[in-house]
Structures are given as structure tokens and as C-alpha cells.
Chain A
Amino acid sequence: MRAECINSFYRATQDIFERMMDLKTEKAELGVVEEMIAGKEANVVIGMTGDLYGSVLYSFPKEMTLDMVKIMSGMEMDKLDSFVASALGEVANIISGNAVTYLSEHNYSCDIVPPQIIVGENKSISMATDKALKLTLRTSIGNFDINISVKEKK
């Protein structure tokens, strides 16, 4: 796993959270996990193709997701419905798109496939992947994880 990859996703997340939700993000933890598990209630999986291929899983707690959508919409949200899930999926999609742009600055040409949104805790996102890097980020409305499992095309 290349540092450029995790840094690109971190940089993109920081920028998008700040720009779209006025939220500061900071690294809380970084570690290796044996498999990608949707550890929180609202999850978005984004596939990556190209020089780096695999998948990225964003995992958010329910309350944090509702707060994020509330900040964007100015409306109260009380459940993880299609509207909330779709807004979250689009935020993750935007972050991933920007991360891919940053990766191109490091000469990695990659693409992303549209997000898949999974509501529900502790579902194993089995894609026969190897270990994943799990980055936990801290914000004022909660912590969330970005799991990255990509390989470099030989």
C-alpha cells in the first residue's frame, strides 16, 4: 500500500468536509485490518480501477451521518433513508473522485466506479481482498473510518 494513496484520500476528505460541511478532520488512528468490515451503520463502497485497483470503504456512525446531511440541507434528519444514504454516497463519490485526481499528480492513472451504499452494521464487505488499511478520522460530530484495499497493477 503506497503512502500516496492513503494521503490522497485523506487530503480529499479534509478538503471536501471543510468545503461542504465546515468540518475539520484529523487523523485519529491508522492501522492494518485483516478484512474490510462495515463497522458502522452507514457505509459506502467505491471500486477503483486502473494503476491502483481494489476498493475503498467509508464507514460512518448513524448519528454522524444524520448530522452531516443536516448541515448540508439545513433540515432535520431522523433516519438513514434513501435521501440520506444517497447524499452520503455522493459525498464519498466526490471525495474519491478528488483523491483520484491527486493520485494522478503522483502518476497513477485510476478511475472509480459508482458508489454502493450499505446500511447496517458489521457486514463484511467480502471482495476476496487482502488486508486493508483502516484510517480513522476525527471530527466534531463523530469519528468515521476509511478502509482502503488496493493493489498496484504490475
Chain B
Amino acid sequence: MWKEKYKIGVERIDQQHEELFRRVEDFIKSVRSEGEWELKQEKVKETLEFMSMYVVTHFADEEKYQQEIHYPGYEEHLQLHIRFKEEVGKYVARFNDTGFDEELVQEFGGKLMAWLIYHVAGADQKIGAYAARLGGGKE
């Protein structure tokens, strides 16, 4: 899933993005793997938790980095992170309510993938462009 073009030119953020993509990919692969849903549920739950934990860590780090470089789009970007965490939280609540319904988890997987690509290939690139102007990122 990860592509080199998603890099923003700030090493520590790029490494985290690559890790985040890997975890989302692991989650999606477990959701889409062959076999009975009941049998793979444990793996799905595990990869979902592993991914969600990293989202929180990465968002916090990325927000910290934005503050360090006095990124002017910080507040706006923070709202994107908050909304995303809310969305994930809503899905997790629905997973619990529906007894981890397969269709719902598939739906979440598709949305998560598109959102992550859009976010990293879009909003995050602006952080890279700003850092580059400060002399810290890619040209």
C-alpha cells in the first residue's frame, strides 16, 4: 500500500507513515483473508487494535512536530486528526454493538484506506512543503 511518493521529506514522519500504512495493510489483509469470519475474527481484532494504537501515537508525534516548526496549518490539521479519531471510535462502538459484523468491518476497511491515502498524499504534504521552505524538508 505504501508508495514512495507519499513521503513528505521529513524523515521521522515518513518512517511513521510507512509503519502506519503497514499496520493498516495488515488489518485490511486480515479482514480480506480467506476463511470463516468467526475463525479470523481474533486476528482482525488484534490488527485493528495494533493499528489504532499507532494512529494515536503517530498523530501525537505529528502534532508535536507541527508545533516545533510553528506550522501555520496546525489548528486545521489538528481538527482532521480529531475527526478521524472520532470516526474510528464510532466504528469500534458499532463493531461492539453488532458483535463484530463482517460487512461493517469491510466497510470500515475501505473507508480507512481511502481516508489514509488522501490524508497522507494531501494534507500531510503541506507540512512537508512548509518544512522545506524552512530548509528542513524535501524540495
Contact = CB atoms under 8 A, between A and B. Distances in A.
Interface of A: 16, 19-20, 22, 69, 72-75, 81-91, 94
Given A83-B110, A84-B110, 9 more contacts: A19-B118, A19-B121, A72-B113, A82-B107, A83-B107, A85-B110, A86-B107, A87-B114, A89-B110
A57 B92 CA distance: 29
Nearest to B106: A82
A73 B118 contact: no
A73 B113 contact: yes
A118 B126 CA distance: 34
B28 interface: yes
A83 B75 CA distance: 32
B37 to A, nearest CB: 12
A-side binding surface: helix, strand, loop or mixed? helix
A152 to B, nearest CB: 29
B114 to A, nearest CB: 4
Interface of B: 1, 5, 25, 28-29, 31-32, 103, 106-111, 113-115, 117-118, 121-122
A50 B55 CA distance: 34
A83 B121 CA distance: 21
Nearest to A92: B114
A90 to B, nearest CB: 4
The listed residue with most A CB atoms (<10 A of its CB), out of B29, B113, B114, is: B114
B1 A90 contact: no
A90 B61 CA distance: 26
A83 B106 CA distance: 5
Contacts of A85: 107, 110
Contact of B109 (A20, A74, A86): A86
Contacts of A72: 1, 113-114, 117
B111 A90 contact: yes
Contacts of B103: 82
Contacts of B32: 75, 83
Given A74-B1, A75-B32, A91 B114 contact: yes
A74 B103 CA distance: 21
Contacts of B28: 73, 75, 83
Nearest to A82: B106
B122 A19 contact: yes
B101 to A, nearest CB: 10
Contacts of B25: 73-74
Contact of B113 (A16, A82, A87): A87
17 contacts: A19-B118, A19-B121, A19-B122, A20-B114, A20-B118, A20-B121, A73-B25, A75-B1, A81-B106, A83-B106, A85-B107, A86-B111, A87-B110, A87-B114, A88-B110, A94-B114, A94-B118
